[in-house]
Amino acid sequence: MAQRHYSNIRSALRVPKTFTTDLHIKALTHPEKGQETYWDKTIKGFGVRVSQGGSKTFILMHGKRRRRLTIGRYPVISLKDARDKVKGILAERTLGTPINSSVAFDKVLDSYFTNHVDANNRPRTAKETKRLLNSHFRDALEGRRLSEVTKHDITNILDKLADRPSEQRHAFVAIRAFLRWAVKRGDLKHTPLDGLQAPADGASRSRVLSLAELGKVYKKAGDGYIGTIIRLLILTGQQRGEIAALRAEYIDKKQKTIELPKELTKNKREHLFPVCKTALKLLNGTLSQGLLFPARGKADKPFNGWSKSKPEVDIPHWTLHDLRRSFSTHLSALGVQPHVTERLLNHIQGSLTPIAQVYNKYAYLDEMREAINLWEKKLSTAIRK
């Protein structure tokens, strides 16, 4: 009896676990089992639940029935933003505005995936749409009611992607399409993004794939017909149209070079460049004469089916042209001199006399060969992983 008495005293004197700053939340330890709730000292009913797995989720307990409302996961949502959201909800309650009882964001999102995304898109497009909405919005808005999602909630998420303009723009397009679909279905009265302009895609022509990403593309491309073209693009840095139009007579396997005629190049000048052993091995598996990569059913026409040729790789937005830009950037990182890289890419400025053009064709060939071999060695580390 006495033991129970003292236990009750200890319980009565137990100090509630609280927090006031981001540092406090970061320092919260997770329980061995279940979940534990810590309360904010500044706003009554506002707290953070810490699961045994370590995730931390802001909540609000409100009303006579102590209804629990999930605000979002930390640190996807900052402490300041969570407090602002809670203050808005409490202000609406004080003013007598009822909290909307519409369906949860997660539930509508799942329905969107099943009934619209999967049903109306190619598998690759559907996968990318799901990635954007799940990775950027589901975690941040987990447990929220769709009608409670505000413009500020969305822009706050998008602002965190400002250092990746292309990803930011695609995320905006994805969430806008989802919200418009929800309005058509009657799950929302209107989209909170009305009047909001899409972010500028500042990175649309500056995407550089990392070495690891290039390794993924190379391996995923495979060693088939299309895969060989893509692998050659990675290894040589040439224009995709030039690789697709390669003919057996352009290749000097003894000298390990390829010479493109001026009729084929973008700048209408002959282009002689060395190729590495890996590229030569790929070329040995192609046709022995004529076009190496003819279009399907058209032996005299080079391959041009680019829209269906890009391999499905689990990396953010990229294009085949990014392979050429990435080639140039990685050569620079390897210490290759700019004029050597420019020669490999056939970037020649100014007008040249006929004699100068002949000389220029062979200029820096040794330096280009050294650069291309350096690149082959560096790329091989990513391919082997």
- The token duo for 274 is 């060395």
Report which listed range, 8-22, 170-184, 292-306, is most confident.
Answer: 170-184
Question: What's the rounded Cα separation, in Å, for the pair 215 and 240?
Answer: 18
Report which listed range, 80-94, 132-146, 152-166, is most confident.
Answer: 132-146
Task: Check: CB of residue 209 under 8 Å from CB of residue 330.
Answer: no
| CA angle 139–21–64, rounded 5-degree value | 70
Res 307: pLDDT: 67
pLDDT for 96-122, tens place per residue? 544 444 688 988 999 999 989 988 888
Residue 274, phi then psi, degrees to nearest 5: -80, 160
Dihedral of CA atoms 253, 258, 263, 265 in degrees, nearest 10, equals 160
pLDDT for 41-93, tens place per residue? 989 899 999 988 888 988 988 777 677 788 888 888 889 888 888 887 777 66
Q: Does 248 have pLDDT greater than 90?
A: yes
Q: Does 375 have pLDDT greater than 90?
A: yes
pLDDT for 294-341, tens place per residue? 988 777 889 887 767 778 787 877 888 889 999 999 999 999 998 899
CATH of 211-384, one of 3.90.25.10, 1.10.10.10, 3.40.50.720, 1.10.443.10: 1.10.443.10
Task: Check: CB of residue 216 under 8 Å from CB of residue 310.
Answer: no
| Architecture of the domain delimited by 105-185 | Orthogonal Bundle (1.10)
Closest CA to 233 of 323, 304, 154: 323
Q: What is the CATH number of domain 2-94?
A: 3.30.160.390
Res 94: pLDDT: 64
- pTM value > 0.95: no
The average pLDDT across 130-138 equals: 92
Res 354: pLDDT: 52
Domain ranges of the chain: 2-94, 105-185, 211-384
Q: Does 178 have pLDDT greater than 90?
A: yes
Predicted confidence band at 363 (pLDDT cuts at 50, 70, 90)?
Answer: confident
Res 2: pLDDT: 46
- CA max distance for the chain: 108
Residue identified by tokens 């970037």 is 347
Task: Check: CB of residue 364 under 8 Å from CB of residue 340.
Answer: yes
Lowest mean pLDDT among 2-6, 146-150, 240-244, 246-250: 2-6
